[in-house]
Amino acid sequence: MEEQVLNTHNADLQLSAANRSHYPDDDLPEIALAGRSNVGKSSFINTLLGRKNLARTSGKPGKTQLLNFYNIDGKIRFVDVPGYGYAKVSKTERAKWGKMIEEYLVHRDNLEAVVSLVDLRHAPSKEDVQMYEFLKYYEIPTIIVATKADKIPRGKWNKHEAMIKKALNFDPADDFIIFSSETRVGYDAAWDSILGKL
């Protein structure tokens, strides 16, 4: 898709859903955002859409419990997926989460790609690695976004990128984007990558 045809500021929360009977019923392509709780998924959405608080962000992890479908200019959707790895979640809740994610990622025909967010500062968690393996296993086109880049000096970015790629067993066919919602570094690369999947 060409960037000029998409008014990225014309966006709103279309609906929230826990299961497929509530998903939007049309053919719009969807890009899902996955990642650990608190990694910056909602901030990523807000940054790409040039909005302060369209997608709710919080210092409190584990806030987003539903799939949130953001309609962008009536042409594509971002789907904000609840984060994983929040310690204070019961086994039952975790199982429910797993079912909800799997139902969406494995069975949603509209899904064109997943933006999988990791924290540039740290080695990926076990769940980050599992998520990436899951996406590769189901052959879902994946973009790795390593965010919070503003929190480490630029001179260390390469080293951290290499460390993350190694831990993920990163497929060089995928895009890897260093990003920050604070400085907006990676904004163009992220949009290019996303639109390239459509």
**Backbone dihedral region for residue 139 (phi beyond 0: left; psi -120 to 50: alpha; all else: beta):** left
**Residue 43 binds Mg ion (CB under 5 A):** no
Nearest residue (CB) to ligand GTP, 74 versus 95:
95
Shortest distance, position 5 Cβ to Mg ion, whole Å? 28
Q: How far apart are CA 98 and CA 95, in angstroms?
A: 5
Contact positions vs ligand GTP (CB under 6 A): 35, 37-43, 57-59, 61-64, 82-83, 147-148, 150-151, 180-182
Shortest distance, position 80 Cβ to Mg ion, whole Å? 6
Shortest distance, position 93 Cβ to ligand GTP, whole Å? 14
> Of Mg ion, ligand GTP, none, which one sits near residue 141, judging by CB under 5 to 8 A according to partner kind?
none
Element (H, E) at 70: strand 67-72
Do residues 86 and 31 lie in contact, with contact meaning Cβ atoms separated by under 8 Å?
no
Of 38, 47, 64, 181, the one binding Mg ion by CB under 5 A: 64
Q: How far apart are CA 105 and CA 8, in angstroms?
A: 24
